[in-house]
Homo-oligomer: A and B are copies of this chain.
């Protein structure tokens, strides 16, 4: 109470100034994927370094083959944990520009409805607004106490929206400098406008392109149909065999390492009120397509999948061509959970396919990425502390959620720095990240700052 309360007061008092600082950062057009904005990306990195220096961080712009990283260090009391905070300063492109109601790089505060204000502009939610919540907390803490509650390293990336090509090499090359006790990653969302959330599970991914080859050339289906192998038919059979009638995946060994989600977590998810109707209704569907007898949230958060992301073979233009293709391919991906091993899944899939290829045909595989799932232990002490801190700030129990997709940096921290991550963020699903008219709730920016103050306090007490 003695340390936290004045920090919260300071954040409240300085909020308008924090908004001005965020607007300065939002005005910088740091679109990482478009080479035309290379200098703008560097400007954003330099802006952050200058700002962090005013707080007392030892901050620097660090060159990479792509856009630079920002790395900043600040000492903390002896014996305190060492935390690494991660965010990214680059943003998505803004086209189609004509769909924006305002200049994407001229941020504003707008009132959406009485009592609900938002910050508009590209990067407001993804991820400049989010990363600045933490920076403001550090600033306030330093102003109030003359110090930070623990040793803090900050890493801001400038290529998150363009595939993070420099991240892995940078982590490897600077592992000793960047390794902390654990990471705070602020690039996720709340459950809804009132309910804070910690993302404790992220599904992993194995991608495979499978190419089935039959005859040495395309054939006329009149001349050869009925005698010659058809790779589309073989591929369809392979894909159809992957799921049984209950939606379960039939590849031997596929479920090795998959754990059942604790009953109390399933119950908590049930309490969120998401149903097949609310989840699938907006996309025009109503029947969950995965394993029978599990809720949609369990299906997308805690169960592995096999999905067919693309398929092609033979004639696919307008009209008709009576051809038997020489080859056909499919792009198949598996979402992994818990301790499923990407390498073993890949091998099991390939063996499964090989068994189904006729003797005179062949198959080729092209791997596309492989990363294990991230799953925090539901009872880890720092998770419980963070949950309590968020609950205190938002006056509503913070929920432990999962995400169906992956956030690669979390896996990279685990792989290259041997470091777990705590994923806390204040985005909402209607923030329109990557789309025109991106926004960030003013409440997210304000209470996000206060949330970090409470979390830092809880983690260091």
Residues of A bordering B, CB below 8 Å: 203, 205, 207, 209, 214-217, 219-230, 232-233, 235-237, 239-241, 243, 276, 279-280, 283-291, 296, 299-300, 303-305, 307-316, 319-325, 328-331, 333, 335, 358-361, 368-369, 403-406
Find the B residue at minimum CB distance from A329.
B316
Closest residue of chain B to A282 (Cβ to Cβ) is: B216
A289–B227 contact, CB under 8 A?
Answer: yes
Q: Interface majority SS on A: helix, strand, loop or mixed? A: mixed
The reply to whether B309 and A328 form a contact with Cβ atoms under 8 Å apart is: no
Q: Which residues of B have CB within 8 Å of A308?
A: 230, 232-233, 236, 313-314
**B315 contacts A331, C-beta separation under 8 Å:** yes
Q: How far is the CB of A41 from chain B (nearest CB, A)?
A: 24
* Most B CB within 10 A of own CB, among A223, A289, A321, A331: A289
Copies in the complex: 2
Do B404 and A230 touch across chains, with their CB atoms under 8 A apart?
no
What's the least CB distance linking A404 to chain B, in Å? 4
Known contacts A226-B289, A227-B300, A284-B216: A236-B311 contact under CB 8 Å? yes
- Which chain B residue lies CB-closest to A304? B226
Q: A214-B285, A236-B308, A311-B316 are in contact. List 4 more A-B contacts (CB 8 A).
A: A225-B404, A226-B289, A227-B300, A322-B333
A305-B226, A319-B368 are known contacts. Are A232 and B404 too (CB-CB below 8 A)?
no
Chain B residues, CB < 8 A from A229:
285, 287, 289
Select one of B232, B241, B368 contacting A330, CB under 8 A: B232
Q: Establish whether residues B300 and A232, one from each chain, have CB atoms under 8 Å apart when the complex forms.
A: no
Contact A285 B215 (CB under 8 A): yes
If A222-B335, A239-B240 touch, does A279 touch B227 (CB 8 Å cutoff)?
yes
Shortest CB-to-CB span from A343 to chain B, Å, is: 17
Question: Smallest CB–CB gap between A297 and chain B, Å?
Answer: 9
Contact in complex: B320, A209 (CB < 8 Å): yes
The CA of A133 and the CA of B265, in the complex, are separated in Å by 84
- Docked Cα-Cα span, A299 to B322, in Å, equals 17
- Beyond A228-B289, A309-B315, A321-B309, whether A404 also contacts B222 by CB under 8 A is yes
Chain B neighbourhood of A233, CB < 8 A: 239-240, 243, 289, 307-308
Instruction: Find A217's partner among B223, B283, B323 (CB 8 Å cutoff).
Output: B283
Contacts A216-B283, A233-B239: A223 and B300 contacting too (C-beta < 8 A)?
yes
Query: Is the beta-carbon distance between A406 and B311 smaller than 8 angstroms?
Result: no
Given A300-B225, A358-B289, A311 contacting B283 (CB threshold 8 A): no
Interface centre among A227, A237, A276, A308 (most CB of B within 10 A): A227
Contacts of A241 in B (CB 8 A): 240
The 8 closest A-B pairs by CB, nearest first: A222-B405, A240-B240, A216-B284, A310-B314, A236-B239, A232-B308, A320-B368, A226-B290
Task: Indicate the member of A209, A222, A314, A360 with the most B CB atoms within 10 Å.
Answer: A222
Contacting pair A322 B300 (CB below 8 A): no
Residues of B within 8 A of A358 (CB): 287, 289
Rounded to whole angstroms, the CA-CA distance of A205 and B299 in the bound complex is 43
* Cβ-defined contact, A311 with B310, below 8 A: no
Tell me the bound Cα distance from A325 to B324 in angstroms.
24
Bound Cα distance A228, B404 (Å): 12
Contact among B207, B276, B312 with A316 in the assembled complex (CB-CB below 8 Å) = B312
Q: Are A240 and B237 in contact (CB under 8 A)?
A: yes
- CA–CA, A359 to B331, complex, Å? 26
